[in-house]
Copies of this chain bind each other. A is one copy, B any other.
């Protein structure tokens, strides 16, 4: 019953716990030592004996009640949230961060976390918006939520004091990161930044919400604004796609600079 309440955001925040569902996510959660309690159906215990040694058995019906998916896999872990602060991440001397300002879609948040992990970024910072510990976000992150620091930097819905865009940007800049804010009307074109090799600098990429983009104060305060040039007739890239294009190009430029 307590676990079922973790499908709600408030309960997740208050308890510092969340649910990870399915074998891939549970495997990463166990490897990260983040599992507080593990539930498995008899079926799941048979299918994943290596994961379920310490699992409490539950009925398929209880598994379905805990699940946020249409086809529950019968394997659900209650996990501890890592409480990484922005200070911790900045103190480690990051070279590549991604900052999402009030993203709407938890699936996009999870996909950005997965992409940040895959390119070797140093962390993901969330300033308000969708909860990275939401079931959809956890699923979309495909285990990466347990691999790299994910920082809740505040925002209207956060438990902490709201962090104004400018203050967040100041802290990133003070840590030696060039803050690049993405917008369709950016002063710089991503292509040119790639050509000039300037992406090799320590960089924090900022992305706004799917519907409204970045707030004006963030655009005004960032070191630069960047557009990803559109060539066809689409109006914009999907948020997770835009982040992937920027992160891949930046990680590549940073590797090239460090080896060559």
Contacts and interface: CB of A to CB of B under 8 A. Distances in A.
Contacts of A147: 232-234
Contacts of A144: 232-234
A104 B148 CA distance: 27
B107 A234 contact: no
Copies of the protein in its oligomer:
2
B244 A118 contact: no
A35 interface: no
Interface of A: 107, 111, 114-121, 140, 142-144, 147-148, 191, 194, 228, 230-238, 240-241, 244-245, 248, 251-252, 255
Contact of A142 (B115, B117, B119, B235): B235
If over half of A's interface residues share one DSSP class (helix, strand or loop), that class is named, otherwise mixed; here it is helix
| Ranked 4 nearest A-B pairs via Cβ | A120-B231, A118-B234, A117-B234, A117-B232
Contact of A238 (B140, B148, B251): B140
A244 B247 CA distance: 12
A148 to B, nearest CB: 7
Contacts of A115: 234, 237-238, 241
Contact of A230 (B118, B194, B233): B118
Interface centre among A111, A194, A237 (most CB of B within 10 A): A237
Given A245-B244, A245-B245, A191 B252 contact: yes
Nearest to A28: B233
A33 to B, nearest CB: 15
A114 B120 CA distance: 26
A142 B234 contact: yes
A248 to B, nearest CB: 5
A255 B231 CA distance: 10
10 contacts: A111-B241, A115-B237, A117-B232, A118-B230, A142-B236, A143-B234, A191-B252, A228-B248, A231-B255, A245-B248
